[in-house]
């Protein structure tokens, strides 16, 4: 059993936001563990590059360009993804955006609509399209990319935090509603990870001094350390994990800063 705990051979996974950052790392990790892949992003050239790297690992891979900020494209992506290989066994909702920085009450209606559409509504649309098929087959895994911004207040990116908190709740609700049919749903809450999204923060020496002082491991996380958790949640190793938000932050959220 130990040799198959993280084996994804025979699975088909859909990974959104796959052209870079955590989505790219997750796609490559799934490919390395044997999953066939449907990859989605709005950046076609970068997506094709990631898809080629996954194929080089020996798995079937199809790239589907989609802008999840467009509600109609988000609604249609699930059916398009199923049409590639006939089913989706694992859904990884990674596509997201930070949105405006600043006080939450300054966010405009347009800001709310955009950030909630990309981060939350698109995930809901994909779950609505794909979870019933998983339930019919009696197995499936939904993985929603949240953030430690979902777990505490934030003076700069409150709107982002709201959507990520909602994703964690979506995972809990899906786990309760669909568990009897064998579908598991979980969220991952990364801390500061070395991705393009975090490049500005990592380049800020004053910020980094504060952040690392309150992170017991005293370093930034790497994308593969988040991708590994996603592999576990999709594989036999995570078969009894559902409705959870797994924090991958080097201990930041449990530290008193000492």
Which residues are the active-site residues? 160
Is the separation of the CB atoms in 175 and 242 below 8 Å?
yes
Paired tokens of 218: 């005293």
Tokens describing residue 171:
């995972």
Cβ–Cβ < 8 Å for 39, 27? yes
Judged by DSSP in three states, 187 sits in: strand
* Nearest Cα residue to 37 out of 64, 13, 6, 11: 13
Q: What angle do CA 244, 177, 92 make, to 5 degrees?
A: 50
Please list the residues that pair with 185 across neighbouring strands. Answer: 142
Gap between the Cα atoms of 202 and 206, Å rounded = 10
Q: Which two tokens stand for residue 251?
A: 């201990």
């Amino acid at each position: 059993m130990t040799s198959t705990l993280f084996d994804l051979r025979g699975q088909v996974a859909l990974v959104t936001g796959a052209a870079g950052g955590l989505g790219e790392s997750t796609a490559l990790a799934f490919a390395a563990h044997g999953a066939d892949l449907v990859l989605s992003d709005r950046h076609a050239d970068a997506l094709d590059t990631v898809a080629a790297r996954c194929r080089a690992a020996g798995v079937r891979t199809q790239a589907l360009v989609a802008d999840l900020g467009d509600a109609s494209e988000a609604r249609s992506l699930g059916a398009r993804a199923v049409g590639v290989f006939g089913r989706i066994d694992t859904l990884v909702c990674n596509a997201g955006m930070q949105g405006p920085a600043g006080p939450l009450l300054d966010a405009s209606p347009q800001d709310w609509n955009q950030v909630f559409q990309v981060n939350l509504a698109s995930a809901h649309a994909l779950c609505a399209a794909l979870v019933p098929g998983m339930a019919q087959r009696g197995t499936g895994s939904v993985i929603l990319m949240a953030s430690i911004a979902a777990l505490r207040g934030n003076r700069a990116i409150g709107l982002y935090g709201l959507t990520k908190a909602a994703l964690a709740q979506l995972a809990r609700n899906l786990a309760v509603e669909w568990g009897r049919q064998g579908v598991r749903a979980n969220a991952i809450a990364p801390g500061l990870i070395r991705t393009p999204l975090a490049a500005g923060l990592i380049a800020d020496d004053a910020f980094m001094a504060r952040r690392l002082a309150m992170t017991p491991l005293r370093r930034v996380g790497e994308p593969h350390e988040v991708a590994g958790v996603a592999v576990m949640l999709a594989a036999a190793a995570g078969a009894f994990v559902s409705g959870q938000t797994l924090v991958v932050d080097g201990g930041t959220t449990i530290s008193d800063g000492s």
